[in-house]
Chains A and B, each alone.
Chain A
Amino acid sequence: MAVRKPPITTREYWAPGHAACAGCGCAIALKLATKAFSEAMEEKYGDPNAFAIAQATGCMEVVSAVFPYTAWKVPWVHVAFENAAAAASGIDAAWKKLGYKGKILAIGGDGGTADIGIQALSGMLERWHNVVYLMYDNEAYMNTGIQRSSSTPYGAWTTTSPPGKYSIGEDKPKKWVALIAAAHQIPYAATASIGNPFDFVKKMKKAAKVDGPAFVQVHCTCPTGWKSPLEKSVEIARLAIETGIWPLFEIENGDFHNIKIQSPGGGAKVKREGGKVVAIEFKKPVEEYLKLQGRFKHLFKQPEAIQVMKEQIKAMWKVLGVDVILP
């Protein structure tokens, strides 16, 4: 009887028993990221284990390494909140001197990457370390109890952006770190989502295989912080892609004129010119994404705020060189 080859390695580097919340999208991301890394290392160096992780303080750090236990079956170092990229730089340098072949995976959440860690990230990218930086973006400081970060989207409730008489919730548009990373003209920068695991794995492998630095920003549902149903984490992430909230793109060598845009699905009509995506007409309204999450509940009483959000989404796509129509 023919046995179908599994779509990704069955090797596990992120062991069950970690203490992440039920339905945690970040835990899914880390499981897939390490598997993808392993496949890439096997293909590039003939050794599936030829990698190590430097991780920032944050949810995925505290749930995975509570002494004397560990969820990690790969060398793993945590130093502090803002310096995963710098610690990874040090490990990379040490590996060069020790003659180890392989790649370092730095991991940080959106707070540890977009805010407090952005200086160390920029330094690591600019110095051309052989490091892939994975930003797991659950769009707020979840580990400390849901405070806004610069990656929190417009309109979202967090404990420091509560809606009220004088507040619509978070009042700034999301900062896209993948674009900032790409501006370093690094070999590879991409966005991904747990809502499209195949695309995410493909991108992680690509990132892991380049010589030099790479950056992947993966959208991860946080049921605790987003106030969303535990069983809908992947569905919600997929809706973010299908409604135009979360673009999937790749930028190689900082070439902003040739951004590769992945088709969002969800019935969206994609217009290409010379192989490049130039326009997308989304069919699913952003409301479908918003309504599944308590963090956006208040917006339905303020439809003008949803309009503002839609204008921001269009502006963001414009930066990517794509004209979008939102229903």
Chain B
Amino acid sequence: MPIKKVMKANEAAAWAAKLAKPKVIAAFPITPSTLVPEKISEFIADGELDAEFIKVESEHSAISACVGASAAGVRTFTATASQGLALMHEILFIAAGMRLPIVIAVGNRSLSAPINIWNDWQDSISERDTGWIQFYAENNQEALDLIIAAYKAAEDERVLLPAMVGFDAFILTHTVEPVEIPDQEVVDEFLGEYVPKHAYVDPKRPITQGSLGFPAHYMETRYKVWEAMENAREVIKEVFDKFEKTFGRRYHIIEEYKTDDAEIVLVTMGSLAGTVKEFVDKKREEGVKIGAAKITVYRPFPIEEIRALAKKTKVLALLEKDISFSVGGAVFADTSRALINEKEKPIILDFILGLGGRDVTFQNLEEVVDIAKKALEEGVKEEVYWIGLRKEIL
């Protein structure tokens, strides 16, 4: 029987890793993710997890060691955040290009400067073009579940791409919640053993991995990553279906909340979705036709799901904790791309908020709704709205 324990998202991630039984883990401490490798060290010390834990000297080597181990054909795991993920950047492309289904738990944290250890999504959002599948968890249960789902999707032969699962720094990484831990046998059955046909380092079957691709071949390798990411759309749906049948919890690429008659839909990711759903309930009581949508799978970007959502509403308000300078929110840009050729589309508004651990309050969300209402009547006034900005200290 599955048991429930009260734990932080970091511990949930470590539990997920333990349940997935990676043979090699390589990690480096970084706030707010440090508890993940700490907890894994305890599992190994207590004989509860049989894995090689490489205590590397940097995140660059963490991901490099994972690439080496994954190229050798074993399941691997690492955890990081912020500067650590940025330091991995170069190798993230390589992991995807070599088609190695490594899984990273990311405690979503801002990037320097100024140095700041608190939550936003700039770290993993900035890795959106590396060829990694990206999941964002709303709570600690999702952190655990999505890591297991990530392995299932990443290792599928139609995909074979690495995956990262993001969960918000401190809001989730350091906050305890009850989390249901599935039975090991059920996870074993769900995931199966990872025995890749394309990646092994076996003296009996010598192969060359990591070749030089000349212009005659390089572009096709990029296309194959594109194709794999396209395949991931369907595979993730299958994984979520199977996940529900196996563990009883339902996940959606985009989870819609009270959207059916909504004139305004607040679209967001991660733990902010919880706040937004509660806010929607409050506004519904006041008679405002408002809904919410949570993007659980950001890569592959849910183009069809965004189009379906757009058909239901008059305003899509993107609430994001990241910024692409001179453009706006990355999710806003992707959403716009999904709708660009649609004949009819809602107003799309770009809200930047909650950077570097700035709290997102109901007051902030009221402001968002006011702007959205005005946009319906008077049109869009600004390209990007910065919400919760302390203008008095600028």
Contacts and interface: CB of A to CB of B under 8 A. Distances in A.
Interface of A: 47, 49-52, 54, 61-62, 65-68, 70, 72-80, 82-83, 85-98, 100, 102, 119-120, 122-123, 126-127
A106 to B, nearest CB: 10
Contacts of B76: 90
A17 to B, nearest CB: 13
B143 interface: no
Interface residues of B, number: 45
Interface string B69-88: 11111101000000000000
B65 interface: yes
Select the residue from B61, B70, B204 with max chain A CB neighbours within 10 A.
B61
Contact of A89 (B60, B65, B94, B204): B65
Contacts of A50: 203
Nearest to B56: A123
A126 B205 CA distance: 30
Nearest to A87: B68
Contacts of A119: 57-58, 60-61
A90 B57 contact: no
A123 B57 contact: yes
Contact of B69 (A73, A93, A126): A93
A77 B97 CA distance: 13
Q: State the majority secondary structure of interface residues on A.
A: mixed
B72 A95 contact: yes
A87 B67 contact: yes
A50 B206 CA distance: 11
Interface in B203-228: 203-214, 217
A184 to B, nearest CB: 12
7 contacts: A79-B67, A86-B68, A89-B68, A90-B64, A91-B68, A97-B23, A97-B24
Contacts of A73: 206
A160 B161 CA distance: 40
B55 A76 contact: no
A72 B206 contact: yes
A91 B212 contact: no
A202 B74 CA distance: 34
A88 B69 CA distance: 8
A28 B71 CA distance: 27
A98 B72 contact: yes
A62 B54 CA distance: 29
Contact of B56 (A65, A75, A89, A98): A89
A102 B203 contact: yes
Nearest to A71: B208
B214 A66 contact: yes
Given A47-B203, A66-B211, A91-B201, A98 B64 contact: no
Given A75-B206, A87-B67, A123-B58, A94 B74 contact: yes
Contact of B67 (A61, A70, A90, A92): A90
Contacts of B64: 79-80, 83, 86-87, 89-90, 120
A49 B52 contact: no
Given A54-B68, A79-B71, A86-B60, 16 more contacts: A49-B206, A52-B201, A67-B213, A72-B208, A75-B201, A75-B206, A76-B210, A78-B210, A79-B64, A79-B94, A80-B90, A90-B26, A94-B68, A97-B23, A119-B60, A120-B58
Nearest to A106: B68
A122 B57 contact: yes
Given A86-B61, A87-B65, A77 B203 contact: no
Contact of B73 (A47, A74, A88, A94): A94
Nearest to B62: A86
| Most central of A70, A86, A90 by chain B CB within 10 Å | A90
A91 B60 contact: no
Contacts of B217: 67-68
